[in-house]
Amino acid sequence: MTVRAIVLGFLGVVAICFLNYINDNILKQTFLLGNYLPVAVYGAVIVLVVAINPLLARVHRRLMLSGREIALVLAIVLAACCIPGDSLLRCFTTSLVLPHHFNRLNPGWREKQVLADMPPHMLADVSVNEDKVLNGFVQGLGETDRHIRFFDVPWEAWARPLLFWLPLLLSLWFGLTALAVVIHRQWSEHELLPYPLADFANSLLPEEGQTLSPMLRDRLFWIATGAIFLLHFNNFLYTCFPEVLIPIRRQFDFTALTSSVPFLQEGGGRSLMMPTVFFTVIGFAYLVPSDVSFSLAIGPVLWCITVGFLAKYGLSLTSSLEGASGYIDVKPQTFLLFGANLAVFGVILYCGRKHYLDVARRACGLRPTAPATALAEPEPPEGHVELVRQQAFQSGGSGSLPHAGPSRSGHVGRGCASEVVKSTRTEGGTTPPNAAPAQRPAGSSAFTRSEGVATPATTGEVWAARLFVLCMALFWVQMVAIGLDWQLAMLYMGVVIVFYVVVSRVLAETGLFYCQPFFFPCVAIWGVMGSQALGPQALLIMFMLTTVIMIDPRESIMPLMTNSLKLLERRQINLPRGAWLFALALIVGLCVAIPTALYFQYDLGYAKWDVWGSAMVPQMACKNAVSVQEKLTAMGALEQARNLHGWARFGHMAPNHFCMSALAAGFAVTLLVYVARLRLTWWPLHPVLFLTWPTYPSSLMWGSFLIGWLVKTLIVKYGGVNTYQKLRPIFYGLIAGEVFGAFVPTVIGAVYYWITGEPPGAFRVLPT
């Protein structure tokens, strides 16, 4: 770690956290962040490695940044990407102040006194000066020709909620970052997951002593990058000069085919028949195992067919059974996803049980379950692991080592090489199944670490586990202090951990850079226990926690850090030290992003055009609380529900039976797919199908995954492994070209706004 890399990293944190609100809400360009492949960050990396670094090398080679330094800069900036975008600030300030505004507009809220059930520390204090605090936020305090001063913002009204929310957020984020360190070695070394996003970032970085990476010297990479960049740049120029240029369409209309697929239209599949081509998605679909891309391609279609089929028999998976928000309601589809995520989480724990138990014992000050020599399986010959990784990479598996047979623990780690081997064309023909380990391609069972711990827990993992427990305990204490029963706070915290661990696993396994699990702790607990057991106040607190912390987890901290740790590992950078820098980046990012957002919101008024962040989310918690009160009043159980506390709540549980059936079905089907994938080499489906099939991002990207899967299948079948490997730079180029095609218009739009004072026309590239 060098000082200049750390300084550059934190300068990047400040820049991202300051500029994001301007870009997303004033310029209205492609989101600077928006997903786990933030265009602002990766676009800047492309500029750095392609243009700036070679120029610095020409001046003096000591000025050039090494690959390790760029990796550290990238990892530090990525840590702060969970703050200024959709995962927090898009809805953070609006959720803390606009409930007061909507309370004035909704007589039903005032009649039920819904804000009286809200702990005062969770909302901005409008009693200080309602006109300035609330009306100023809604309408803006600035004038046409004059901006407000920084101290014109009513900071005193925000001190109380920020003193509650910021420690809560930091406790959760620090705990999840520590957990990412704990699980990293199990996923990276024992299960050998591919980490496609980290692999893409690493491919851009130069090796030690070099100016450009091997990928950036490949002609195929530049052909693909240039073609996709020109396509997007042409479409951007069309928004500026529509009378001169012709746009290149990326969206196609196949709605006429909807009726030809049984139950598709009845299940709401008409919108799926207007897919948009995302070249980034095509690139990752080519690079990940084929069962992953195939499952992500057919998932939304299969979901709509399932919904339509069950609707024929009077069963609706998408209707709200309780709640009025339209999003964080009790729905069968939410519990299908919850069951699937529980199954994945259980398999993750089972496959890594020896590693996690060893870390836990050492974190408690106990000795390992067995000496190091007993824990470790026989080590392969020197260099064998790297050889197998390279063979997997050359076979199309991104370095993922498969685990064959009953002892296989890499339940999601089967490389796509296994599917390639069955149809491989090599100079010597298909590799025989009894080939020697050094000659057998990855995809066979040449080398397997079946059950887990090859080496004892490291000191860094032990301290990370202790920090995780401490931070999650603080998170739990703060929820209890705000008025949530300790039992409910414990349940809420447990579902939060499941939520983020599974999202991180999906990202490390599949490269699904835009992912929304669409199940929430408040809804899971609500459906299992029932409204009467929980009461309106406890539910309102959990609704509010959910809308602020995790309503849109498209840039969450733990998945970002999971990939950052892999990138640091590949560049041989100390992971625990990197994690401490990530924690500092979170603090710096909050100190920059929140004042920036509040200043522009009080200067210009909140972004009314953003219906999601400024109208829907701020009302969700209170809408559901009113719905719960109305239901309990009709049952004559409102007073009883308000008087229940602690263990007494569990005596009045009334689970929603339809949702419990959906939970069991999601759990069972996902587990069966895991077993089939482990036992049957021909099995075509990946469990990620049941984690994503009804989600909004999948409905946007399914067509591109289908294209990528089809292209890869044809290349492997008719060209063989060698052709597949030779063409990989093209698909890296598709990713880089689309990222750069979104980054350049964003920069041009910012310059245009700075010169003219007028926002440019909206232009979006990646799925939003």
- Tell me the per-residue pLDDT of 252-265, one tens digit each, with 9 for 90 and over: 989 888 888 888 88
Q: Is the pLDDT of residue 76 over 80?
A: yes
List beta partners, residue 642. Answer: none
State the amino acid at position 338 in one-letter form: F
CB 485 within 8 A of CB 538: yes
Confidence of residue 454 (pLDDT cuts 50, 70, 90): low
**DSSP letter assigned to residue 649:** G
pLDDT, average across residues 145-171: 93
Phi, psi of 57, rounded to the nearest 5 degrees = -65, -35
Which of 89, 92, 69 shows the shortest CA–CA distance to 17?
A: 89
Confidence of residue 240 (pLDDT cuts 50, 70, 90): confident
Identity of the highest mean pLDDT range in 358-372, 413-427, 575-589 = 575-589
pLDDT given at position 386: 37
Q: What percent of the chain has pLDDT over 90?
A: 69
Range scoring the smallest mean pLDDT among 123-137, 138-152, 515-529 = 138-152
Q: What is d(CA 514, CA 221) in angstroms, rounded to the nearest whole number? A: 24
Which of 488, 493, 575 shows the shortest CA–CA distance to 172?
A: 493
Q: What is d(CA 682, CA 688) in angstroms, rounded to the nearest whole number? A: 17
What six digits make up the tokens of 591?
Answer: 């100190």
Q: Tell me: the pLDDT tens digits for 299-310?
A: 999 999 999 999
Q: Is the pLDDT of residue 332 over 70?
A: yes
Q: Is the pLDDT of residue 286 over 70?
A: yes
Confidence of residue 407 (pLDDT cuts 50, 70, 90): very low
State whether residue 711 is helix, strand or coil.
helix
Q: Could you tell me where the beta strands, DSSP code E, fall in 674-761?
A: none
Which of 46, 399, 387 shows the shortest CA–CA distance to 206?
A: 46
The set of residues, in sequence order, having a beta carbon less than 8 Å from that of 109 and lying 6+ positions away, is: 102, 103, 115, 622, 626
pLDDT given at position 284: 95
pLDDT, average across residues 273-277: 93
Confidence of residue 493 (pLDDT cuts 50, 70, 90): very high
Q: Tell me: the pLDDT tens digits for 560-570?
A: 999 999 999 99
Q: Could you tell me where the beta strands, DSSP code E, fall in 224-280?
A: none
Q: Is the pLDDT of residue 413 over 70?
A: no
Q: Tell me: the pLDDT tens digits for 679-724?
A: 988 899 999 999 999 999 999 999 999 999 999 999 999 999 999 9
Q: What is d(CA 672, CA 661) in angstroms, rounded to the nearest whole number? A: 16
Confidence of residue 366 (pLDDT cuts 50, 70, 90): confident
Q: What is d(CA 95, CA 89) in angstroms, rounded to the nearest whole number? A: 10
Q: Tell me: the pLDDT tens digits for 726-757?
A: 999 999 999 999 999 999 998 998 888 888 87
Helix (H) or strand (E) holding 197: helix 196-204
Max Cα-Cα span within the chain:
81
State the first-to-last Cα distance of the chain, in angstroms, to the nearest integer.
Answer: 35
Q: What is d(CA 262, CA 135) in angstroms, rounded to the nearest whole number? A: 52
Q: What is d(CA 379, CA 372) in angstroms, rounded to the nearest whole number? A: 12
Q: Is the pLDDT of residue 376 over 50?
A: no
Confidence of residue 370 (pLDDT cuts 50, 70, 90): low
Average pLDDT, rounded, for the chain: 86
